[in-house]
Amino acid sequence: MTKTSLRYDHEVIAAWIEPGERVLDLGCGDGQLLRYLENSRQVLGYGVEKSPEGVRACVANGVNVMQIDLEKGLAGFEDGFFDHVIMSLSLQAVHNTVGILEEMLRVGREAVVSFPNFAYWRHRQAILNGHMPVGEDLPYQWYNTPNVRFFTIADFEALCEMHGIVIREGLGFDRGELVKEEPNFLASVALYRLGR
């Protein structure tokens, strides 16, 4: 799992988390977000990461990590054990999108997801100009991107609706700034709090 790290992304997520919570971070990369949450929210955190490099980095950073392939689900994690299950900028890199969302809401009271919005106006502009979008939140070329799902804020909300996933809060951002109107057009990154 590859993760670009956005500082504001971490701050918004931290604001949704109460001190002392149990937190699971899926596709945790080098454990940076968990470190941040441990320091700022004193959480008991565990990360899930597939890549050997990420696992080693987490261990080196003193972050609890489980080397598990997310695509295989979260067997071994207890129902409702976590207060928050986070997937920061990784949902677009998972094949089993619905499966993982359901697993998140099985093991956690609340899920937090963030993802790049492919309907962002700059991305639309890139496509109009004949190219796949590349930018701060999509720092890959089409031939080396880890992303396997290309979806928009509108698509994601439709999926939640279809599967009975409750959107408790949704925020859009453009270069770290909160987008108040037309997020599907003006936001490059979306963050959601989800529940049942």
Stretch that binds other proteins, among 74-82, 86-94, 111-119, 181-189 (CB under 8 A): 74-82
Per CB under 8 A, does 56 bind other proteins?
Answer: yes
Per CB under 8 A, does 167 bind other proteins?
Answer: no
- Of 22, 109, 124, 175, the residue at the interface with other proteins (CB under 8 A) is 22
Residue 76 or residue 164: which is nearer to other proteins going by CB? 76
Residue 78 or residue 181: which is nearer to other proteins going by CB? 78
DSSP per-residue letters across the chain: ------HHHHHHHHHTS-TT-EEEEET-TTSHHHHHHHHHH--EEEEEE--HHHHHHHHHTT--EEE--GGG--TTSPTT-EEEEEEES-GGG-S-HHHHHHHHHHHEEEEEEEEE-TT-HHHHHHHHTTS---BTTB-S-TTT--------HHHHHHHHHHTT-EEEEEEEEETTEEE-S-HHHH-SEEEEEEE-
| Least gap, CB of 9 to other proteins (angstroms) | 24
Per CB under 8 A, does 59 bind other proteins?
Answer: yes
Residues that bind other proteins (CB under 8 A): 22, 44, 46, 52, 55-60, 62-68, 76-78, 81
